Structure 1
Amino acid sequence: MLSSILANGNPGMRTNAAVSVSKAFKSTYTKKPLVLGIRREDKNRWERRVALTPAHIKRLIKETGAKVLVQPSNTRIFNNSSFEKAGALIEEDLTKADAILGIKEVPIEKLISDKTYLIFSHTHKGQLYNMPSLRAFLDKNIRLIDYELMTDEASKRRLVLFGKHAGYAGMIDGLHGLGQRLLALGYNSPFIHMGQAHVYPNLECVNTKLRHVANIISDQGLPEAFAPMVFTFTGSGNVTQGARAIFDKLPHENITVDDLPAIFANRYDDRYKNRLLALQVNAQDYLERIDGGEYSREEYRNHPERYRSIFAEKIAPYTTMLINGIYWESKYPRLMTTQDLARIQNQRELKNRMLAIADISCDIGGSLEFMSHASTIDSPFFYVDARDGLVEHKDIEKPGVQINSIDNLPTELPFEASQHFGDSLYPYAKALATGDLDNTVLRRAVICQEGSLNDQHKHLESVMAADQGFRVADNRRKSVLLAGSGMVSQPLVDYLSRSKDTDITIASNDFNEARRLAHQFPNTQAGILNILDTPSLDKLVKESDVVVSLIPAHLHTHIASAAIRHQKHMVTASYLSPEMQKLDQQAKDASVTIINEIGLDPGIDHCSAMKVIDQAHARGDKIKSFISWCGGLTAPENSDNQLGYKFSWSPRGVLTAGLNAAQYKINGSLRQIPAGQLFSHKFANVPLYPGFAFEGLANRDSLQYADIYGLQLDQMDTMFRGTLRYHGYSEILDCLLKLGFLNLDSKSKIDVASTREYMLRTLGLRKDATRDTVAKKAAKKLEIPLSDPLLNRLMLAFEEFGMLDSSVSNALDAPTALDAMAKVLQQALRFKANERDLVCMSHEFGIESADGRTYDVHSSSLTVYGDAKAGETAMARTVGIPAAIATRLLLEGLVKTRGTIRPTIPEIYNPLIERLELKGIIFNESSKRGIQNSLQRRMAWA
């Protein structure tokens, strides 16, 4: 019946509009031909393709008796009269059509309600920029059938596509661009004779030109300075097949990745002068397991975070032109990062490598991080120079890799592309014309109908909520001001810049740093930030919709006051300080939301904890115990120093955190640790994972979180929040504290010529003191014997910090001894290239059932590794991305609560957790019965 035809529809929920749809398809039963409409493509002036050619329409009318309406177009590859001769009616108004066929996305205002549309909607992957369109399809009661989802049931192979034509045009344009680039570098080449794809009337003309170019290569050879010329192809689908079909018409030799070293050892061999080298690479050629294990395709698909790309080391240094045709999603490692490109471009011996990239896949900021935007047929090439920061330009004679990233390549070959596409589409157009909506291919390709998403696309509801077009009434562009350009900024800007309706200003007191970051992303600019210059700050804030503050915590109130003055929302990852809390009523009066504590810890921890707590309370259960651990750590294999720690964010914050007092409750007993004694009250063993040697520190006032989380402290046995470190960390920092290196007194101001002089001055030693003298003085102040192993570790730490080296002169100027120590550690314990950090978080809840009969231990844990290849730390991701998501929630109008708040309310934590999962930041949850399974019982509490 009708419900079977309208796949997954709900007859009981039909609106009047839905009933009109059922009437419109009454012909489903009578098999009476329907009216098809062919819309005019209007996304850009180059779009000349059509879903069905006049020949297809003539055949369709003859075989089905269907009526076909064609919107007039003066740019379409087939003129209006050719459609009239085929039997179609040329009509501007398509409201009489039952189903409308097109190619590209339809402007929302031109969508006609209660119709069936067949188009490339670019919505089923959750593409944020098209979520407003998907919302419109639902609101207008449109059945949306997407060509990308028309697949063979058994093989899941796509049946209706332009892929090969994208490959054809991308390769033609790439050869054209390479010829232009070589000439600009001072070298004639056979490729100079290639034109851009759209100048050829058809592929036959292209093939004629390729034969001409092939003869020149064979007869005259290639520029010797660039030999051997290696064309590297990624991907194996239709896009790459199309590109190879063009390339393979030129004289070439197929090689493998293993051949590359030998080829370049003999690169002046005569056989490379008159032929090109084609390198087809597969995933196993450029991916390796981070732990050194064997590549597994199935594992890579399920756990891409276990892999990294070595394309930049293994393949790129040999490549002349990269033709990129891989399918990429954000969960996968990038093929090449901006840092990878910089390393290649900074090697003089590789100046004639990586000359050009034909990025046919056109994933902006995707598999090629530095590919920042789609180019156009009018302006097909731009150049990226990453040698000293990221610089984009369009000067063909200046340094940089040439990038061709046109996102509508098939329209450069509109004649063959339309013929091929129409041939593939015809059987399904015929089914549609006869009202046969039971056709299985068409039914599988339905995204929405009757105002609802089909079951397999229900997940897009949450993605639609991630786009402001779904929630915000006005369609004006949004603006975000990012105050600060430090270590966690890049993932934040990356996330925000993927929404094409948002402009970002990065304002920093380090303009060059802000500019380098801004250059990496679209719709992003740099500015100067002077917190104390109120008129300048007010101007920046006034021009934004949301302000994100990543500056030092004690300066947030300056930003917050400006945000309140101009009624702008604000986001910060820092703790909600008493000073910020005082602004709560002012923010409410101004109808302003200031979301605090929206990073890792605090931040994600609040969200994941409150989700479990609220679910337990909804069942009537009681939270009897709450234990939370979190650590921003060094990956175990990189913890090669006495602290077992390296810094992926400000060392000052790490050091000052160790000076705090702390209090918590454990097994019914309240415990307090005075300020300055945290390191000496460490938890020697935190048994979260057997493979990690964790120790822990209590984190400030755990008891306050009972109120924050809505818990009854007097009914709880345990309330604890702690910080994870590796064994040995606390001992060394406790020594530094007792020796005066963590002094925050202004009288400890440091202005010395070297790190060694700083150490000697702090210990009260003369400049000529020897290593033994330093050891004796330290032992005396620490009141430990010279034979104590701890003293040996401390001296090794001094050596690692550069404090014992008298040959190094590095001036040190800091307002306190602690600030000086932070600068020393920032320099000495920074991550090296190819090293990575680690974030571990674990919550444990002791949950007693409402009737008191059962006790469950519920665990929620998160582990995130940094990506050394991409230059992105786990700390940056887990701080920057939550802050970015909170910013989007404010832009979308999803947060209604006003004042200075934390992410402990469902309107923030529910969508935030959902969107974190889309970015691969996922909590693993499990439950066990019985208190004997809990950390509360297994830990040796201090």
Structure 2
Amino acid sequence: MLSLLRAPGRRALLHPHPGPVSLVSRGRAPLARRNNSSTSAAATATQPLVIGIRREDKNRWERRVALTPAHVKRLIKETGARILVQPSNTRIFSNAAFERAGAVIEEDLTKADAILGIKEVPIDKLLPGKTYLIFSHTHKGQKYNMPSLKAFLDKGIRLIDYELMTDPASGKRLVLFGTHAGYAGMIDGLHGLGQRLLALGYNSPLIHMGQAHVYPNLECVNTKLRHVGDIIADQGLPDAFAPMLFTFTGAGNVTRGARAIFDRLPHDNVTVDQLPSIAKDRHNPRYRNRLLALQVGAQDYVERIGGGAYDRAEYREFPDRYRSVFAEKIAPYTTMLVNGIYWEPKYPRLLTTEDLAAIQRRRDLRTRMLAVADISCDIGGSLEFMSHASTIDSPFFYVDAATGAEHKDIERPGVQINSIDNLPTELPFEASRHFGDALYPYAKELASGNLGGAVLSNAIICQDGSLEQRHRHLEADLAKAHGIRVADTRRKHVLLAGAGMVSQPLAEHLARTRDTDITIASNNLDEARALACQFPDVQAVVLDIADSASLAKHVKASDVVVSLVPAPLHPRLADVAISHGKHMVTASYISDEMSGLDQRAKDAGVTVINEIGLDPGIDHCSAMKIIDEAHQRGSKVRSFISWCGGLAAPEDSANQLGYKFSWSPRGVMTAGLNAAKFKINKEVREIPSGGLFRARFGQVPLFPGFSFEGLANRDSLQYASIYGLNLDEMDSMFRGTLRYSGYSEILDALLRLGFLSLDPSSAVDKSPASEFLARTIGLEKHCTDMSLIADRLAHALDTTPSSTIVSRLMLAFEELGMLPNQGSSGDPLTAPSALDALSGVLQRSLKFGAGERDMVCLFHEFGIENADGSFDVQTSSLVAYGDPEAGQTAMARTVGIPAAIATRLLLEGAVTTRGIIRPTIPEIHTPLIDRLAQTGIVFAEYTKRGAHNSLQQRMAWD
């Protein structure tokens, strides 16, 4: 049990108590002591309290009350409590009715120990030191009510929220108006639809429905529904809108209340699977005289990303693995959406604004989706376009998402939105009686001065000027709203520039701690919104990096900037971040331009962590771990060979390239044009730009189960100094990229044929892929002769048409949809160069399909000379696969998660090195490897004692 009211200045503690505890009003002696100074402690514990019932004053329509006169009469009789009721001339029950029940009509509630109400209390009317039971609308951190929460704390008020009064076993809410919200919302929805149809030029039986508040009680509503139902059956519905489908979401009291109203009208229940056939049969006479009802659950309107069956438990735990298909499967058939869904930001939205816009743009759907009764009234929630609550006075507004307009003109285009946030007050008599029945047992506990269970104590949000432990997260919301700095609870802010393939795991990892606000900024707002809606505390904004003012504004508002935009744009972001003293993270190589910002960053006290993805990134971390350990033992690293590749899983690699794209094809193609320099077996070798594919390593024997070839990766020699190694003492210093055998032969042929040209003269303008192929190899763009294509390929490659490479190329072009006999494969290509055009073809033809997965393979080998002269070979490897069911690629995880961990280290102040840096220092790579392991990204390390260099001797360089 718990004392709900304590003396001022003492912090209330949640703890068990061996016996009943009194509810003592602040600043006053216990009630029993005031009445009889000789009363025992036990008697004091059960002394009844003074309960106040406040007058509702949020708006003139609020006529409900927490306890009816019948409840008050019973409470006085059973507990002996004194009940004070503020006078009201608008309340559904008169002042005289409460007086007859035994209450005292009293304007001043300062004598009350606990005060019961319904809606929020104006801040200036909050009485210090009291216990309030209300719907405070603060426990989710609602921004608009943070001033109220601050007032509860400042005034030492104990706040008990009805919304948090739940069954300890099931977690279900116990005291609520949901059913009556459903009643009123459905009544208002039918009324609004009738008005809307008339405005569109169609009479309908629904025109006879009034708004809920015009009916004295539900009995009158039921009478009206019978009359309207008779008219529907007799005179019918407008042909232009038949069949009229009402789609209901949610399975709680709200939806049950809405169905209780709707079900009194003539209707047929249908399923999602029936919708297409119903639409085809829309002229069926039956649909003129009956409505259709569709009840849907998550299993009907979400689908698993990447394929697979809907799993309710998985959806609740990992909602990011699912997306909403309501816009495609259900919305096009729906006349009115009755929304009673409970939604949290972690779940996919039912309908986005763009979904609605797409529906409204379709000519064939202009007589559909006429109205939404959003009984849940979740602003910007499951329905993104639901921008605000409407009122009983002005219950409807209209959203024309196709043009971006929101208005109140019933005759203009747009879906009608009914989003009244106090619907039950339209049925105040039944709503108050129902609510009071549910509240009474806990009001009795309160009035008795004892807490007999966990329901009330668990519903406390704050008391004695402090938030309860379970609500401490609200301190950050208070700080954000009022500029209050709370120790260790200040919310952090990350600006994530870019919403591409690797952004999702990064945002997910950062969002887990719930202490970080994330702004996803992209030049593609829809893409950013699609990512942002998956997580709490994440917003999406449009950002043009060339827009200096906008960029500066967003950078200035952040603590850390994460740049996942194309690499050439990183220096621009870094320049702005340094100017505003903000740290930054990128996954790209340090360019000369970025390196030039080093001193400025140091002078500004800014850290810019680069090369913190997969390769470069965690390859640095795993390498430096072993190198540092070797140096600490007094050993020397005599050779370092590192291979890394992002590939298709073997079972999904069945194409001539043996490759599919989990990141930008352009990045893959341009990487193949780099020059390279490395050291193998004491010999320094260089490969010029354009020669990489021909100078491939035809065999890279890492694991017996994989047939790898490899390409040298840029300038490996520079990493000797970066890793703290002495290149002169090393036999080998090499970093390379893995591919499956056969990849380089195709890429080299494409390079020689001109498909990897970046020359502007190779630009492509609105050409089908087949014309792009023909023109690039020097044929007429409409060439359809396969043998002629093969001959031209052979001639350009100085081989015969029957050669293996020509045969493979023809098969590759077929797989890519580039041969003329394949017709129009995809949209025409428009690109500034042949390489960009080919990248577009690869993007659409070699992407991962449903259920397919990618693979990441990273392998280091170190030749280590120990202090005693012995020689060891030490390896560190990682093989990771994508998870199609979770909708995450291995590439996205192994790039996004390391970048997120680095961001978190900066937010925590764990990185003190300033300037333009890599994760080659212990303060980054040590915690990063540990935290990676917690996410399942784990390196396997092995040491062969007394061995000699092995891998460098077995790699076959063509």
Please say whether Structure 1 and Structure 2 have the same fold, judged by a TM-score greater than 0.5: yes
* Alignment counterpart, residue 56 of structure 1, candidates 71, 74, 78: 71
1:191 equivalent in alignment to 2:206: yes
Separation of aligned partners in 2, 1:607 and 1:472: 40
Q: Deviations over 1:182-218 (max 9, x none)?
A: 2232211122233333444543443343333223223
Instruction: Specify the SS of the correspondent of 1:437.
Output: coil
Quick one: which amino acid aligns to residue 162 of structure 2? Y
Q: Deviations over 1:317-339 (max 9, x none)?
A: 43322222233445555545566
Q: Deviations over 1:606-643 (max 9, x none)?
A: 99989999xx99xx9x9x99999785979988x88655
> How far apart are residue 435 of structure 1 and its match?
2.7
Separation of aligned partners in 2, 1:48 and 1:897: 63
Instruction: Specify the SS of the correspondent of 1:159.
Output: coil
Separation of aligned partners in 1, 2:349 and 2:236: 35
Aligned match of 1:236: 251
Aligned match of 2:480: 469
* Alignment counterpart, residue 374 of structure 2, candidates 359, 384, 388: 359
Separation of aligned partners in 2, 1:203 and 1:473: 48
Tell me which moved more, 102-111 or 192-201: 102-111
> How far apart are residue 425 of structure 1 and its match?
0.9
1:652 equivalent in alignment to 2:669: no
Aligned match of 1:177: 192
- What does residue range 382-461 of structure 1 map to in structure 2 within 5 Å? 382-385=397-400, 394-446=408-460, 457=470, 461=473
Aligned match of 2:865: none
Aligned match of 1:150: 165
Aligned match of 1:270: 285
- What does residue range 338-737 of structure 1 map to in structure 2 within 5 Å? 341=356, 344-345=359-360, 348-363=363-378, 366-368=381-383, 370-377=384-391, 379-385=394-400, 394-446=408-460, 457=470, 461=473, 469=480, 473=484, 508=523, 530=546, 552-565=566-579, 575-587=589-601, 589-590=603-604, 631=646, 642-643=656-657, 650-660=664-674, 681=696, 731-737=745-751
Tell me which moved more, 39-48 or 489-498: 489-498
Contact 2:502 2:896 in 1 (8 A): yes
Q: 1:347 and 1:888, CA in 2 relative to 1: closer, same or farther beyond 3 A?
A: farther
Contact 1:844 1:857 in 2 (8 A): yes
Tell me which moved more, 336-345 or 415-424: 336-345
Contact 2:854 2:889 in 1 (8 A): no
Instruction: Specify the SS of the correspondent of 2:247.
Output: strand
Contact 1:537 1:562 in 2 (8 A): no
Separation of aligned partners in 2, 1:606 and 1:364: 45
Quick one: which amino acid aligns to residue 923 of structure 1? T
Aligned match of 1:321: 336
Quick one: which amino acid aligns to residue 87 of structure 1? A
Quick one: which amino acid aligns to residue 818 of structure 1? L
> How far apart are residue 66 of structure 1 and its match?
3.3
Separation of aligned partners in 1, 2:95 and 2:75: 17
Aligned match of 1:87: 103
Instruction: Specify the SS of the correspondent of 2:813.
Output: helix
Q: Deviations over 1:671-706 (max 9, x none)?
A: 99886566675798999999x999987876899999
Q: 1:875 and 1:842, CA in 2 relative to 1: closer, same or farther beyond 3 A?
A: closer
* Alignment counterpart, residue 165 of structure 1, candidates 180, 187, 190: 180
Q: Deviations over 1:379-433 (max 9, x none)?
A: 544445566x866555544444433344443344344323322221111121122
* Greater C-alpha Rg: 2
Contact 1:35 1:68 in 2 (8 A): yes
Quick one: which amino acid aligns to residue 431 of structure 2? A
Separation of aligned partners in 2, 1:717 and 1:427: 82
Quick one: which amino acid aligns to residue 209 of structure 2? M
Separation of aligned partners in 1, 2:181 and 2:167: 21
Q: 1:342 and 1:768, CA in 2 relative to 1: closer, same or farther beyond 3 A?
A: closer
> How far apart are residue 164 of structure 1 and its match?
0.8
> How far apart are residue 753 of structure 1 and its match?
7.8
Q: Deviations over 1:631-684 (max 9, x none)?
A: 5979988x8865566667654333223444679999999999886566675798
Separation of aligned partners in 2, 1:106 and 1:696: 70
> How far apart are residue 882 of structure 1 and its match?
10
Separation of aligned partners in 1, 2:385 and 2:569: 35
Separation of aligned partners in 2, 1:722 and 1:470: 51
Q: Deviations over 1:205-240 (max 9, x none)?
A: 433433332232233221122222222222222111
Quick one: which amino acid aligns to residue 469 of structure 1? K
Aligned match of 1:203: 218
Tell me which moved more, 807-816 or 354-363: 807-816
Quick one: which amino acid aligns to residue 194 of structure 1? M
Instruction: Specify the SS of the correspondent of 2:367.
Output: coil
1:818 equivalent in alignment to 2:835: yes
Aligned length: 901
Quick one: which amino acid aligns to residue 835 of structure 2? L
- What does residue range 762-911 of structure 1 map to in structure 2 within 5 Å? 763=777, 771-779=786-794, 786-799=801-814, 801=816, 804-805=819-820, 817-823=834-840, 825=842, 828-829=844-845, 863=882, 865=884
Separation of aligned partners in 2, 1:23 and 1:722: 80
Separation of aligned partners in 1, 2:361 and 2:156: 55
Separation of aligned partners in 2, 1:108 and 1:588: 48
* C-alpha RMSD over aligned residues: 6.8
Q: Deviations over 1:239-292 (max 9, x none)?
A: 110001111222223344455455455443433322222222344445566687
Aligned match of 2:21: none
Separation of aligned partners in 2, 1:194 and 1:479: 49
Contact 1:374 1:406 in 2 (8 A): no
Instruction: Specify the SS of the correspondent of 1:242.
Output: helix
Separation of aligned partners in 2, 1:442 and 1:907: 47
Q: 1:629 and 1:858, CA in 2 relative to 1: closer, same or farther beyond 3 A?
A: closer
Separation of aligned partners in 2, 1:489 and 1:174: 40
Q: 1:898 and 1:831, CA in 2 relative to 1: closer, same or farther beyond 3 A?
A: same
Quick one: which amino acid aligns to residue 213 of structure 1? V
Contact 2:610 2:917 in 1 (8 A): yes
Q: 1:358 and 1:759, CA in 2 relative to 1: closer, same or farther beyond 3 A?
A: same
Separation of aligned partners in 2, 1:580 and 1:243: 60
Quick one: which amino acid aligns to residue 355 of structure 1? L
Quick one: which amino acid aligns to residue 935 of structure 2? F
Separation of aligned partners in 1, 2:491 and 2:88: 31
Structure 1 unaligned blocks of 5 or more: 12-17, 848-854
* Alignment counterpart, residue 248 of structure 1, candidates 248, 263, 270: 263
Contact 1:481 1:507 in 2 (8 A): no
Percent of residue pairs bearing the same amino acid type: 60
Structure 2 unaligned blocks of 5 or more: 6-11, 18-23, 32-40, 863-873
Instruction: Specify the SS of the correspondent of 2:248.
Output: strand
Separation of aligned partners in 2, 1:835 and 1:390: 34
Q: Deviations over 1:899-928 (max 9, x none)?
A: 6678999999999999x99xxx99346799
* Alignment counterpart, residue 231 of structure 2, candidates 172, 195, 216: 216
Separation of aligned partners in 2, 1:738 and 1:417: 78
